[in-house]
Amino acid sequence: MSSARRLLAQITGSIAGAIAVASALAADVEAGRAKAQTCAACHGEGGNSANPAVPSLARQPALFTMYQLMMFRDGRRKDPQMSPVAANLTDRDLEDLGAYFAAQKVVAPAFTGDPAKAEAGSQAARGYHCLSCHGANLMGSDQIPRIASQHYQYLRTQLRLYKARTRSDLEGQMTSSAQALSDEDIENLAQFAAGFPPP
Amino acid sequence: MQRDARHNFMRLMLGACALFAMSAALVQAQTPPPPWTQGRSAEQESSPLKPLAPPPTATPGKEIPLAKAKLPPGFKIELWAEGIPNARSLALGAKGTVFVSTRLRTEVYAVVDRGGSREVKMITKGLNSPNGVAFKGGALYVAEISRVLRYDNIEDQLDNPPEPKVVIDTLPKDLPHGWKFLKVGPDGWIYFDVGAPCNICVPPATHAQIVRLQPESGTLETYAMGVRHSVGMDFHPVTKELWFTDNGRDWLGDNAPSDELNRAPRSGLHFGYPYCHQGDTLDPELGKNRRCGEFVKPVLKLGPHVAALGMRFYDGKMFPAEYHNNIFIALHGSWNRNEKSGYNLTRVSFGPNGEPKAEVFVGGILDGQNFWGRLVDVLVMRDGSLLVSDDWNGAIYRITYSK
């Protein structure tokens, strides 16, 4: 238990507070840390991936990590590496891993972007309503991922897959959003988000 | 001749280029925003409101603060079943099995009452948003986005369910508002909704309607039109008419439009979407040159953005006589509203002249802007108790009455 959490538990005396803390603690960061050892081989220490094709998981919203693992598990999202790893995860594993990665600090990967493309991507992000879900700081929330400082190559690949309607998509929002994107938009958006610093 | 030909060719090319440019511009102009942001004004672009996703896993029953629920005197609510992640629609089998669907997961569950405790069994998985469940003639019907499946003789095979038969697999594949609520009608047909594939748009002729499916032949018919997305319906115990809830459009402000309780006494009626909302409010864009008088008005306005989902007539004998043939409606709770609303189980009763009146029956779920559950569907059990599902906690509650 982090000291901040412990402090929170100490100062929230009300029943409501106790319940909120209890459910926050149902998912266990420390249990998640142990379970995440398998993940580190590809996703890096603390979920900060060094491989540009592999997404960084540090500080991804817990619900986002849980939903993606669930979709790998039930086959809606497919990947030669991830599918077998996720196949036998329990719901409790999803909760612990979600809590663990949400609590990790982002170490932004080295990325030398093209400022003109990033600026064009910034405009495109507004035009295509990206910030509505991903937030003005691109940090995501709930089921929506952090895309700030995500790997450029990974972002570009995912946008292409959404456009091709082959990327699993919980409620179809990204698939429908990506239909409008040109190759140039995808390049610019990936440049913009990859170069966007974490808070 | 040759020059003419070249000239014509050039004209053709220019025309083709212009056409191409035009069609490209059209594609650009017609590129819709994500469905849930459609119809948002410029001022709303920076709104922090977005649809809520529930946790994809279940809350342990002992952590659900059910003691906070408030009911009228004499009524009691208790945890009936837990560990059903994303629990959605409910259907009752002939032998007492309660079937529970999911929407964001892929499973369907069966709950068997063993007297003092309930056994939860997963009976199928890997389905595409299997939100609709209905029971008829010993079979469980399950609606995915674009298919309806049938599991024959299901209650005798809960531990080893049969492979499903495909009743129909040609429904639209759109995910937005594509999940279904199933209800068997008094005519033996199965009724469900094909929702609008958007927040607000002129829907394709195949969408924004309630249809009915003849399960033996697979015949599909339109029953009601102008329905944005109905995730709850029931047939009146006496008149046998179809009643249904409908979720109003988003982004017309915190106080408009209202979700609807509707009545469709016959087929072929139009309930207004996308032209007229809540029976009296023309859509600011699509309502131009239309009149609300063209469409059937709702029986009752249930409140803006409350997300009115499952509904059932109460035809049980446990509750007091004044509850007979009342309607219970699960208000899932708002997302498109700065101050949250809904998040309760609503009772609709009727006055001496049939005038409807809504009141909160189970409250205490929303506390300020915080909530601890979201109710989805209701089911009247044979003993007259009422089950209510909660997809936020993955649980089912039971409401009973005693003097």
Q: What is the pLDDT of residues B32-57, one digit of tens each?
A: 566 777 788 877 777 778 888 999 99
Would you say residue B394 lies in a domain?
A: yes
**Tokens 């946790």 — which residue?**
B55
For residue A151, pLDDT beyond 70: yes
Would you say residue B75 lies in a domain?
A: yes
Least confident of A38-52, A125-139, A148-162, B362-376: A125-139
Adjacent-strand bridge partners of B356: B350
Between the CA of residue B81 and those of B94, B98, B259, what are the distances in Å? 19, 10, 29
For the purposes of burial, counting CB atoms within 10 Å of the CB of B162, is it exposed (0-12), middle (13-18) or buried (19 or more)? middle
Question: If DSSP codes are grouped into helix, strand and coil, which group holds residue A126?
Answer: helix
Q: Are B394 and B57 in contact (CB under 8 A)?
A: yes
Q: Which among B33, B35, B106 is the nearest to A74, CB-wise?
A: B106
For residue A20, pLDDT beyond 60: no
- pLDDT at position B5, please? 44
Which of B244, B365, B310, B242 shows the shortest CA–CA distance to B103? B310
* Whole-number Å distance between alpha carbons of B52 and A155: 24
Chain A residue with the nearest C-alpha to that of B53: A143
For residue A16, pLDDT beyond 70: no
Encoded amino acid at B331, one letter: L
> What are A78-103's pLDDT values in tens digits?
999 999 999 999 999 999 999 999 99
For residue A10, pLDDT beyond 70: no
- The Cα diameter of chain A in Å comes to 54
ipTM of the complex: 0.85
DSSP string covering A90-110: -HHHHHHHHHHHHTSPP-PPP
- pLDDT at position A59, please? 98
Which of A42, A50, A49, A87 shows the shortest CA–CA distance to A69? A87
* Whole-number Å distance between alpha carbons of B219 and B333: 35
Site from B28, B38, B49, B50 to mutate, A interface, most A CB atoms within 10 angstroms: B50
Encoded amino acid at A189, one letter: L
Would you say residue B10 lies in a domain?
A: no
* Whole-number Å distance between alpha carbons of B291 and B279: 10
With cut-offs at 50, 70 and 90, classify the pLDDT of residue B6. Answer: very low
For residue B185, pLDDT beyond 70: yes
- pLDDT at position B30, please? 44
- Please state the domain count of chain B: 1
- The Cα diameter of chain B in Å comes to 100
User: Does A22 touch chain B if contact means CB atoms closer than 8 Å?
Assistant: yes
- pLDDT at position B33, please? 66
For residue B4, pLDDT beyond 50: no
**Residues in contact with A2: Cβ distance below 8 Å, sequence separation at least 6, in sequence order:** A29, A103
- pLDDT at position A26, please? 62
Which of B133, B126, B163 shows the shortest CA–CA distance to B148? B133
Three-point CA angle A17, A21, A26, nearest 5°? 150
Which of A176, A133, A186, A69 shows the shortest CA–CA distance to B201? A176
- We report the CATH number of the domain holding residue B360 as 2.120.10.30
For residue B19, pLDDT beyond 50: no
Q: Which among A94, A143, A176 is the nearest to B32, CB-wise?
A: A176
- pLDDT at position A176, please? 85
Backbone angles phi, psi at B151, to 5 degrees: -110, 105
* Whole-number Å distance between alpha carbons of A41 and A51: 10
For residue B82, pLDDT beyond 90: yes
The residue range of the domain holding B112 is 65-401
With cut-offs at 50, 70 and 90, classify the pLDDT of residue A27. Answer: confident
For residue A9, pLDDT beyond 50: no
Would you say residue B215 lies in a domain?
A: yes
Would you say residue B1 lies in a domain?
A: no
Supply the DSSP symbol for A47: G
Would you say residue B364 lies in a domain?
A: yes
* Whole-number Å distance between alpha carbons of B337 and B250: 9
Mean pLDDT of chain B: 91
HEC assignment per residue over chain B: CHHHHHHHHHHHHHHHHHHHHHHHHHHHHHCCCCHHHCCCCHHHHHCCCCCCCCCCCCCCHHHCCHHHCECCCCEEEEEEECCCCCCCCEEECCCCCEEECCCCCCCEEEEEECCCCEEEEEEECCCCCCCEEEEECCEEEEECCCCEEEECCHHHCCCCCCCCEEEECCCCCCCCCCCCCCEECCCCCEEEEECCCCCCCCCCCCCCEEEEEECCCCEEEEEEECCCCCCCEEECCCCCCEEEEECCCCCCCCCCCEEEEEEECCCCEECCCCCEECCCEECCCCCCCCCHHHCCCCCEEEEECCCEEEEEECCCCCCCHHHCCCEEEEECCCCCCCCCCCCEEEEEEECCCCCEEEEEEEECCEECCEECCCEEEEEECCCCCEEEEECCCCEEEEEEECC
User: Does A181 touch chain B if contact means CB atoms closer than 8 Å?
Assistant: no
Between the CA of residue B209 and those of B179, B180, B222, B227, B293, what are the distances in Å? 13, 11, 7, 5, 19
Mean pLDDT value across residues B248-266: 95
Would you say residue B21 lies in a domain?
A: no
Would you say residue B6 lies in a domain?
A: no
* Whole-number Å distance between alpha carbons of B391 and B381: 20
Token couple for B219: 């015949």
Chain B residue with the nearest C-alpha to that of A178: B34
For residue B31, pLDDT beyond 60: no
User: Does B85 touch chain A if contact means CB atoms closer than 8 Å?
Assistant: yes
**Residues in contact with A52: Cβ distance below 8 Å, sequence separation at least 6, in sequence order:** A109, A151, A152, A153, A154
Cβ B35–A172 below 8 Å, yes or no? yes
For residue A160, pLDDT beyond 70: yes
With cut-offs at 50, 70 and 90, classify the pLDDT of residue B83. Answer: very high
For residue A15, pLDDT beyond 90: no
Say what percent of chain B tops pLDDT 70: 91
For A80-102, letters b (16+ CB in 10 Å) and e give eebeebbeebebebbbbbbbbbb
Q: Which among B47, B56, B59 is the nearest to A66, CB-wise?
A: B56
User: Does B34 touch chain A if contact means CB atoms closer than 8 Å?
Assistant: yes
Q: Are B362 and B70 in contact (CB under 8 A)?
A: yes
Q: Which among A23, A74, A142 is the nearest to B63, CB-wise?
A: A23
Token couple for B29: 């102009």
Which of B401, B396, B400, B392 shows the shortest CA–CA distance to B57? B392
Supply the DSSP symbol for A75: T
* Whole-number Å distance between alpha carbons of B354 and A123: 56
Cβ B126–A94 below 8 Å, yes or no? no
Mean pLDDT value across residues B168-184: 95
Q: Answer whether 0.80 is exceeded by the pTM.
A: yes
